[in-house]
Copies of this chain bind each other. A is one copy, B any other.
Amino acid sequence: MTTQPNIAAVAFLIADPARVAMLSALLDGRARPAGELAYAAGVTAQTASSHLGKLLAGGLLVVETEGRHRYYRLAGSHVALALETLASIGPAEPVRRKPLTRDARKLRFARCCYDHLAGRVGIAVTHGLLEKGFLVAAEKKRFELTPAGAEWFDRMGMNTASIRPTRYGLARQCLDWTEREHHLAGPLGVHLTNLLFAEGCIRRSPSSRAVDVTPKGWKVLKEHFGIQEQALL
């Protein structure tokens, strides 16, 4: 009556990490298909659909169907404003975040981002390459392959000279939505991922994009970058 009856209802819609990831992915005001939002949130299509349905019912999103795609968009700038305002309140770290099921955890831990490695493991590998000086961050969201890096990749069994860069370059910085950091993408990232598959370091898990690191994989990661499984959990 006098006050705002559904603050809690609106806040509830924003109170889920997956939904925040989706909303954040839409902060630029453009519309994106459900699948992309599912990917951004690191959840399956079914889960994403459920979330999107709620956001839609709550009036935070609007949808536009085009062919077999459904494009979601923020309902207006006021939604973006609310997100920014909430963000300004943090850190609020002490409150523990919502738990994840084992499957969702797996997905966040290691997965294929289309055709290259993402998730915590992907980030860790990218960090390792940067620390060793094999890659350096460059402009336009690219990575530059250093001479030392070329040598290392070649020694690993890749013929870097033969890899054709796309118009976006040889190695791109891809924003990892679940970790909010950059991981290695582009032709170099694809080749590296393929190599890890071929060597038996990683395996596709039954669930769609998730990836399992094999014992051999952990051994390799530790040898080259000092990455240990425990440290990533």
Contacts and interface: CB of A to CB of B under 8 A. Distances in A.
Interface string A60-96: 1000000000000000001101111111111111110
A85 B85 contact: yes
A8 B97 contact: yes
A2 interface: yes
Count the copies.
2
Nearest to A182: B1
Contacts of A60: 89, 92
Interface residues on A, range: 35 or more
Nearest to A56: B94
Nearest to A4: B87
Contacts of A84: 4
A84 B184 CA distance: 41
Contacts of A8: 14-17, 19-20, 97-98
Given A1-B180, A12-B15, A7 B95 contact: no
A11 interface: yes
A93 to B, nearest CB: 6
A179 to B, nearest CB: 8
A85 B95 contact: no
The 6 closest A-B pairs by CB, nearest first: A4-B87, A11-B14, A12-B15, A15-B15, A11-B15, A1-B180
Interface of A: 1-17, 19-20, 24, 54, 57-60, 78-79, 81-95, 97-98, 175, 180-181
28 contacts: A2-B180, A3-B87, A4-B90, A5-B90, A5-B180, A6-B91, A6-B95, A7-B83, A8-B14, A8-B17, A8-B97, A8-B98, A9-B93, A9-B95, A10-B89, A11-B13, A11-B15, A11-B20, A12-B95, A12-B98, A13-B95, A57-B94, A57-B95, A59-B92, A59-B94, A60-B92, A78-B89, A82-B86
